[in-house]
Amino acid sequence: MSQGTLLYAQSGGVTAVINATAAAVITEARAKKIKVLAARNGILGALREELIDTSKEAAASIVALAHTPGGAFGSCRYKLKSLEADRARYERLLEVLRAHDVRWFLYNGGNDSADTALKVSQLAKEFGYPLTCVGVPKTIDNDLAVTDTCPGFGSAAKYTAVSVREAALDVAAMAETSTRVFIYEAMGRHAGWLAAAAGLAGENPDDAPQIILLPERAYDEAAFLTKVKQVVEKVGYCVVVASEGIHTADGRFVADAGGATDSFGHTQLGGVASYLAGRVKAGLGYKVHWTLPDYLQRSARHVASKTDWEQAQAVGKAAVRFALEGRNSVMPVIVRTSDAPYRWKIEAAPLSKVANHEKKMPAGFIRKDGFGISDKARRYLQPLIRGEAPLPWGRDGLPKYVTLKNVAVAKKLPAWEG
């Protein structure tokens, strides 16, 4: 008689370490003799009954999975609405879980995913189906409530700080006859966490990045240009880090890319650095360069944070433990017990406290002039980028990343007409 299976699904934008969480889930479940199914392309795969049998993967592949960026089973942007509005989809989901004897559902994502996991658990209860739902935190945006930080953020933060420090050395060397102002566009829709992490690249106010533009402060062009001019005149060059989500006092995004929206209803952003570069050039006449790292910043496993990598694995392991203990509708969260030395532990938080909340930077994390981070922010951010996560490199000079076999589980239900 089957003891039940565990279903794992990834949701939303992937990260440099979400597969480390997946590897920890699989490893922990294997140790407990629990079979892990993975949904292909996240919740969509669960709805379509496109499931992957992870027991077909060799142990060595799961070890390699722990250092492979991206999302090994596929992820998706697909938001389920309320139980009322999307009832058919939730019921189909439950039907698939039941068909594959899924007793434990682990959903690895951000606050939207926490919300979905919570609703699935509510419906299961309504139907009397024995299911334990656990959310597993993940987002480079670092905007989940309750948890001290979100797996994925530390590595993207390290990428940001390292890249800004390196590019600043380049700019400093060439400023006299070439680029005076360099603008780096960081991801971050509503919260400026990643842009803030760039502040770790410098120690003093004159160190790059001299200006950080955060969505938590209204963008004021005159003040910005004045500050750029001051910095260039004092330091010789200016490195600006801008969050993609900065907006003016009346709430308009500085660079709204034609108003396109993704399937979560979020406006699809991009182009802030390009816009600011144009304003600096027109307003101050300086030669400007800019960078848009885009996906590079969230997939750069080669420069991942060891702290982040360890936490990504810890939440995966804890999620399996919570699930098997029957702790329903919870999420393993990271609790910081000390800044220096940095100490943390994992606890369980109710999904209801995480779902649909968005954690912005506290006002005390922002420097008085609004263009940088405070010492308090440094104390918070610094441990998160600490340590280098081991990575095997091939003879070909490239990281050794794994591609899983992703063997499909035979379908048992009629095709989904969703």
Annotated binding site for diphosphate: 13
Interface with its own copies, residue 75, by CB under 8 A: yes
Rounded Cα gap, residues 212 and 183, in angstroms: 10
Which span (27-35, 217-225, 293-301, 369-377) binds its own copies, by CB under 8 A?
293-301
* Nearest to its own copies of 173, 413 (CB atom): 173
Q: Which residues are catalytic?
A: 141
Complex with its own copies: residue 109 or 370, whichever CB lies closer:
109
Alpha-carbon span 72 to 45, nearest angstrom: 13
Per CB under 8 A, contacts with its own copies among 78-97 are: 78
Question: Is residue 374 close enough to count as binding its own copies by CB under 8 A?
Answer: no
Enumerate residues 6+ apart whose C-beta is below 8 A from 263.
77, 78, 79
What residues from 150 to 169 belong to the interface with its own copies (CB under 8 A)? 158, 161-163, 165-169
* Site for its own copies contains 182 (CB under 8 A): yes
Question: If binding is defined by CB under 8 A, does position 193 make contact with its own copies?
Answer: no
* Contact by Cβ (8 Å): 190, 266: no
User: Is position 389 an interface residue for its own copies (rule: CB under 8 A)?
Assistant: no
Query: Is 174 a residue that touches its own copies (CB under 8 A)?
Result: yes
* Selection from 63, 139, 158, 39 nearest residue 401 by Cα: 63
| 221 lies in the site for its own copies, by CB under 8 A | no
For its own copies, the closer of residues 94 and 384 by Cβ is 384
- What gap in Å lies between CA 152 and CA 90, rounded to an integer? 28
> Binding of its own copies at residue 399 (CB under 8 A)?
yes
Q: Per rule CB under 8 A, is residue 210 in the interface with its own copies?
A: no
- Does 176 bind its own copies (CB under 8 A)? Our answer is yes
Out of 293, 316, 332, 372, the residue judged to bind its own copies by CB under 8 A: 293
Altogether, the residues listed in the chain come to a count of 418
Specify the residue, 70 or 135, whose C-beta has the smaller distance to its own copies.
Answer: 70
* Single residue of 222, 363, 398, 410 touching its own copies by CB under 8 A: 398
CB 279 within 8 A of CB 226: no
Tokens of 76: 């998706």
> CA end-to-end span of the chain, whole Å?
32
Quick one: which of 24, 150, 200, 232 contacts its own copies (CB under 8 A)? Answer: 200
Nearest to 8 by CA among 128, 237, 28: 28
Give me the sign of the Cα torsion angle 352, 15, 386, 312: positive
Position among 5, 8, 9, 10 found at the interface with its own copies (CB under 8 A): 10
By C-alpha distance, which of 235, 244, 234 is closest to 276?
244
Tokens describing residue 394? 């091939």
Q: Which residue has the tokens 């929206």?
A: 261
Is the CB of 175 or the CB of 333 nearer to its own copies?
Answer: 175
Residue 112 burial class via C-beta count within 10 angstroms: exposed 0-12, middle 13-18, buried 19 and up:
buried
If one asks whether residue 266 binds its own copies (CB under 8 A), the answer comes out as no
Q: Least CB distance from residue 146 to its own copies, whole Å?
A: 24
CB 167 within 8 A of CB 291: yes
Q: Is 387 in the site for its own copies (CB under 8 A)?
A: yes
Residue 283 near its own copies by CB under 8 A: no
Q: Is 170 in the site for its own copies (CB under 8 A)?
A: yes
Say whether residue 74 binds its own copies (CB under 8 A): yes
Tell me whether residue 108 or residue 121 sits nearer to its own copies (CB atom).
108
Q: Choose the stretch contacting its own copies; rule: CB under 8 A; options: 240-248, 323-331, 366-374, 387-395.
A: 387-395
DSSP string, 97-115: HHHTTEEEEEEEESHHHHH
How far is the C-alpha of 347 from the C-alpha of 321, rounded, in Å? 11
Choices 329-337, 343-351, 380-388, 405-413; region in contact with its own copies by CB under 8 A: 380-388
Asked if residue 109 binds its own copies (CB under 8 A), the reply is no
Smallest distance from its own copies to CB 278, Å: 10
Q: Which amino acid would we find at residue 181?
A: V
Per the structure block, which two tokens stand in for 357?
A: 């909340």
